Structure 1
Amino acid sequence: MKKIGITTTVPTEVLIAAGYTPVDLNNLFITSDEYYKYIDIAERDGFPKSMCAWIKGIYGACLENNITEIIGVTEGDCSNTKVLLEVLKSKGVKGHPFAFPHCHTRESVKREISKFMDNFGVSLEKVEKVRQEINLLRKDAIRLDKLTYIDEKADGFENHLFQLCLSDFDGNMEKYGEFLKEKINQIEKRDKNPKKLRLGYLGVPPMQGDLHHFVEKFDARFVYNEVQREFAFPRAIEAENIFEQYYDYTYPYDIEYRLKDILEQVKLRKLDGIVHYTQAFCHRAIEDIILKEKLDIPVMNIEGDKHNSLDARTKLRLEAFLDMLHDLKS
């Protein structure tokens, strides 16, 4: 199957039905041992220092891994993606735009996904068949999530990583399905390991891969990873079709729509506090204002830029925030 890069979660059901293997360029970038090299490639080619590291990393990962075709989400994700597609086109990479419509109506979502299917020459029947196959993996992701916030056996990083990888199934849907089942079987055999503080993580997945492990040192755990959970589509099984599934997907739409699900999860998971992650130079950072107004539990904002581990200042701030939460709970 031919590889096709994606800049964020898109209707992968359509791509798989069309004979493609989707590759999440974010994952390709941030899991690389030489992740900083991808940023350097972009900056050498003229990307400004004052631009999101994710965009620069996606650019470098695309060129260095010989990805010749890419889906760019031009509405509902990063505001720089449209120009990214134009620059990649000048480098010989074929780009396909896809939009999660800002107006967020069932009709508009159906129209965009129908255009997407037409672009790749696949029928709704074929797409729905693939969707049902993927839903088997999504059932396992739901089980993994429950092993975190109900059974208290999976840790926050496992919850983060294994749901995140459902954006592209780590390059192979069948193998990832087997891998996920094996991991769940291992986790189910563990003893219960509760933490005193139950945390929620809001925002795009972090640049810093050590965040989830760091908080566990302070008797705390992320039992809710908002966007990672959305990448796993926990409500897809109940959706009548692909149009309903992507209408119900919260990440690309306005903060008010996202908040409905966030508020439900805060209550369901009995959260003590929230860490809201924002990326430097990203427009989504402004959403922190609304989140702190609407949520009735403490919220701490941390910002990432180029580094893939927590700096000393952020560690101190996190430790102070967790100390405060422990005091409040006591």
Structure 2
Amino acid sequence: MKKIGITTTVPIEILISAGYRVIDLNNIFIMSRKYSDYIEFAEKDGFPRSSCAFKKGVYGAAIANDFLEIIGVTEGDCSNSKALEEVFRMKGIKVYPFAYPSTHKLSDLKHSIDKFMNYFNVNMNQVEVVRKKLNNVRTLVKKIDELTYIDNKATALENHIYQVSCSDFNGNFIKFEKELEQKISEIESRKPIEKKLRLAYIGTPPMTLNIYEFVENFDARFVYNEVQREFAFPRGKMHSNIYEQYYDYTYPYNIEFRIEEIKKQIKERKIDGIINYTQSFCYRQIEHIIIKEALDIPILNVEGDKLNALDARTKLRIEAFLDMLIDMR
């Protein structure tokens, strides 16, 4: 089976219909023991030190793992994506474009998805068959989310991993479905986790995965992973076709659309405070101004760069934030 790399969540249903094994390059980068080597490799090839570590890591992962085909998201992703795609083309990698239209009009998105289907010579019927299968898998991931914030049995890290994995279903959605069924059974047998503070994690999925364990050292836990949850399309089964499903996907569109869903989840999950994670040199750092103004709840902005673990300063800031939330209670 041919493999194809993605740099962010795209309509994977189309790629699977076309016979591809889809791999999220972000997941390769973050989970690899060689993650720092991927960054260093990109910098040796000329990537500026003052550029996003994610983009450098994705580049390194793609080259080191011999990807010959990649999906490039030309609209609705990082502002550096276009330049990255140009470098991939220079390296001889075939890049297929896909866009989430900034207009956020259903008609414009339909046009973009239709073009994407044409690139891979698949039709709507084929895509919808795959979409229904994937949404059955996504329903299991939604169950893990519920086991996190309703039953309080799944950990925040488990919540993160299984939701973020829905970008590519770990390259094999059938195997991933079986893994999920086993994991749910194991989680359901646990006793509830008792913590006083209920936190939301919003923004870019973290390079510093130990943020979850660190927070749980205190009387607190994350019960909402915003972007990761969107990767898992929790509302997917509500929609009648692929156009509606990707129109309702909040991540690639304007910040106001994201905030609407965040507000709903703050209320439903009884959130006490928010940690907003951004990467250094990312335009989403500026969006924190809007987020802080729009949400009537304490928010701490945490910035990551090249490290895959929290530094001492960030740990102190998080600890102080949690102490403040406890005092407010």
Counterparts in 2 of 1:106-121, with a 5 A limit? 106-121=106-121
Q: Which residue of structure 1 lines up, in the alignment, with residue 255 of structure 2?
A: 255
Q: Deviations over 1:116-168 (max 9, x none)?
A: 00010000000000000001111101111100000000011111111110110
Q: Which residue of structure 2 lines up, in the alignment, with residue 328 of structure 1?
A: 328
Q: 1:101 is aligned with what amino acid?
A: P
Q: Which residue of structure 2 lines up, in the alignment, with residue 4 of structure 1?
A: 4
Structure 1: 4+ residue segments shifted above 2 A: none
Q: 1:63 is aligned with what amino acid?
A: I
Q: Which residue of structure 2 lines up, in the alignment, with residue 56 of structure 1?
A: 56
CA shift at 1:240, angstroms? 0.7
> Aligned partners of 1:77, 1:91: CA distance in 2, in Å?
22
> Aligned partners of 2:195, 2:150: CA distance in 1, in Å?
12
SS at match of 1:109: helix
CA shift at 1:90, angstroms? 1.2
Q: Deviations over 1:168-214 (max 9, x none)?
A: 01111111111111111100000111211000000010110100111
Q: 2:157 is aligned with what amino acid?
A: F
Counterparts in 2 of 1:73-84, with a 5 A limit? 73-84=73-84
Counterparts in 2 of 1:1-330, with a 5 A limit? 1-329=1-329
> Aligned partners of 1:182, 1:325: CA distance in 2, in Å?
36
Note if contact 1:199-1:223 (Cα within 8 Å) is conserved in structure 2.
yes
SS at match of 2:249: coil
> Aligned partners of 1:261, 1:190: CA distance in 2, in Å?
30
Q: 2:127 is aligned with what amino acid?
A: V
> Aligned partners of 1:324, 1:34: CA distance in 2, in Å?
37
SS at match of 2:112: helix
Note if contact 1:201-1:222 (Cα within 8 Å) is conserved in structure 2.
yes
Gaps in structure 2 of 5+ consecutive residues: none
> Aligned partners of 2:194, 2:224: CA distance in 1, in Å?
14
SS at match of 1:5: strand
> Aligned partners of 2:74, 2:181: CA distance in 1, in Å?
34
> Aligned partners of 2:75, 2:277: CA distance in 1, in Å?
21
Q: Deviations over 1:301-327 (max 9, x none)?
A: 000000000000000000000000011
Note if contact 1:3-1:23 (Cα within 8 Å) is conserved in structure 2.
yes
Q: Deviations over 1:3-27 (max 9, x none)?
A: 0000000000000000001100000
> Aligned partners of 1:222, 1:101: CA distance in 2, in Å?
32
Note if contact 1:153-1:194 (Cα within 8 Å) is conserved in structure 2.
no
> Aligned partners of 1:81, 1:297: CA distance in 2, in Å?
32
Q: 2:299 is aligned with what amino acid?
A: V
SS at match of 1:321: helix
Q: 1:92 is aligned with what amino acid?
A: G
> Aligned partners of 2:180, 2:32: CA distance in 1, in Å?
21
> Aligned partners of 1:77, 1:2: CA distance in 2, in Å?
25
> Aligned partners of 2:38, 2:145: CA distance in 1, in Å?
32
Q: 2:86 is aligned with what amino acid?
A: E
After the TM superposition, which of the residue ranges 264-273 and 91-100 deviates more from structure 2? Answer: 91-100
Q: RMSD of the alignment, in Å? A: 0.6
SS at match of 1:223: strand
SS at match of 1:194: coil
SS at match of 2:328: helix
Note if contact 1:131-1:242 (Cα within 8 Å) is conserved in structure 2.
yes
> Aligned partners of 1:273, 1:172: CA distance in 2, in Å?
36
> Aligned partners of 1:227, 1:40: CA distance in 2, in Å?
27
CA shift at 1:89, angstroms? 1.0
> Aligned partners of 1:290, 1:84: CA distance in 2, in Å?
27
Q: 1:52 is aligned with what amino acid?
A: C
TM-score, with length taken from structure 2: 0.99
Q: 1:150 is aligned with what amino acid?
A: I
Q: Deviations over 1:267-323 (max 9, x none)?
A: 000000000000000001111001111111100000000000000000000000000
Q: 2:313 is aligned with what amino acid?
A: R
